Amino acid sequence: MSSHGESFPFHIFFFLIPPATLPVFLLLLLLLLLFMAALFSPRGIAWSLDRRCSFIPGAGGLASVLALSGFSAHRALADLSHSLSARHLMAFSIGLTRFIVSSHPETAKQILNSSDFADRPIKESARELLFHRAIGFAPYGDYWRSLRRISATRLFCPRPIASFGDFRLEIAEQMAEQVTVLMGKHGQVELKKIFHFGSLNNVLKCVFGKSFDFWKGEGMELERMVREGYELLGILNWSDHLPLLKWLDLQGVRKRSRVLVEEVNVFVRGIIEEHRMRRRICRVSGDFVDVLLDLEDEEKLSDSDMVAVLWEMIFRGTDTVSILLEWIMARMILHPEIQSKAQTEMDAYVGKSRFVCDADIPNLRYLQSIVKETLRMHPPGPLLSWARLAIHDVHVGDHFIPAGTTAMVNMWAITHDGAIWADPDEFKPERFMTDDVNIMGSDLRLAPFGSGRRLCPGKSMGLAAVHLWLARLLQSFEWVPSARGVDLSERLKMSLEMENPLVCCAVSRNS
């Protein structure tokens, strides 16, 4: 030891490391330093690296990581924004990704309706699964506008939605039959698969022009691919936020995505070729594959583009409907007086001599209010699922936001804010009988489908299915709890699901 108080000669330490492993050691050391900085820097390291940023209240890296890595990120972020008095805007980082989150309608509107946030951040899983060529993730520009126009005018407008009314009725009949059969066999029914298979077939009929049996063969394989896609998009993938980890693929997201996309390519291209062969014999235009084939030359759509668009239609159109229906039925069982009131309304407007149909729904205002209240209490996309990306430097309120920042809206926090909603934790459909809140994106107090350019294009088709199927199930059965009761525990993956599937009992109202 030096008698002159000299510091330890750290350079000697590096000579003790074998030369072959020195690059790996340095990489691990750098990762450790970044990890420690990310955990303990105010608002995280990503915000610290940009000196231009105005101060935005924010959570430290550790709190942010814990919030987003759990299954209740919407609640954890709401609690953080409340504790920091940052309802209007809160900042945090995950690795090298800057985030802002709004928990207030005013700043939510600025983000969602601004051309400055026209793009979505593209996760590795989304890119690998081709979604960067589909409506949800394609960058704002001519290609995205073309896809949006096609879907809005050829699939999600009133005429096509009405044209699939008979098939929605057929699915409603199948659901009622499945409930009856399961009650006869087991004395109770698990609704999750009934809703999932029904909503998946509804979308497949609109997109591919055919339905499937999900208990065997091709249908079972398709349903497995959809579930795998949900899982991959719902994972918090560290490679998205720490570039040095990308080549490692530690969570296996890239590998699984590439396996899945090969399977999807084979399946969807097969459907496209079936349509091409059929059109050589008889030119028809009945489903969305036919729409795209009609326009492939005019819109310069490649087969890869069509695969991406069709796959996303299937993927996005299924889970919101099925998850929402399960939450609604849970609430009907927990609140029998509300269930009874909806059935009384239906008996008055529809009667008992025929089954409810699409044309009856506008008269069933209380039933529509039940759907709205469930969307408020249990929004399927509480963080509006797929966030927005600042495409250049922008201000939100008085705060400077650098280009490349990911912006989220915590719709769950807004819909549970006592300053906006009276008795926010109480399930009260009556609130919408007196206050007719528009849920299609214009009123940011309740915008479960988003707002602005990236507003969900299939919202009207999804609501048409939810209203009709809910009405038929309430018309045909009285719903009561099973011995397991009703557990409202949540699990946020890609959407906000019930942690434990709803198991209940259905008593025929016609006996």
Known binding-site positions: 456
Which amino acid would we find at residue 328?
Answer: I
Q: CA separation (Å) from 313 to 236, 289, 310? A: 23, 11, 5
Question: Which 8-state DSSP code applies to residue 8?
Answer: P
Q: What is the DSSP string of 369-418?
A: HHHHHHHHHS-SSTT-SS-EE-SS-EEETTEEE-TT-EEEE-HHHHHT-T
Q: What is the DSSP string of 229-290?
A: HHHHHHS--GGGT-GGGTTT-TT-HHHHHHHHHHHHHHHHHHHHHHHHHHHHHS----SHHH
Other C-beta atoms closer than 10 Å to the C-beta of 83 total 12
Evaluate whether 303 touches 269 at the Cβ level (below 8 Å): yes
CA distance 433 to 332: 18
In the numeric block, which tokens belong to residue 508? 């025929």
CA distance from start to end of the chain: 94
Return binding residues for heme: 456
In the numeric block, which tokens belong to residue 132? 């960067």
- The neighbouring-strand residues paired with 504 are 189, 481
List the Cα angle 454/161/180 in 5-degree steps: 110
Q: CA separation (Å) from 348 to 356, 363, 469? A: 12, 10, 18
Q: Please state whether 385 falls in left (phi above 0), alpha (psi between -120 and 50) or beta.
A: left
Which amino acid would we find at residue 198?
Answer: G
Evaluate whether 361 touches 368 at the Cβ level (below 8 Å): yes
Half-sphere exposure of 481 (CA within 13 A, CB side): 12
Half-sphere exposure of 329 (CA within 13 A, CB side): 34
Evaluate whether 226 touches 200 at the Cβ level (below 8 Å): yes
Half-sphere exposure of 130 (CA within 13 A, CB side): 23
Q: State the alpha helices, DSSP H only, in 54-157.
A: 61-69, 73-83, 105-112, 124-128, 142-154
CA distance 308 to 305: 5
With CA atoms as reference, report the closest residue to 128 among 244, 268, 240, 274: 240
Query: What is the layout of strands, in order, in the sheet containing 97-102?
Result: 90-94, 97-102, 406-409, 388-389
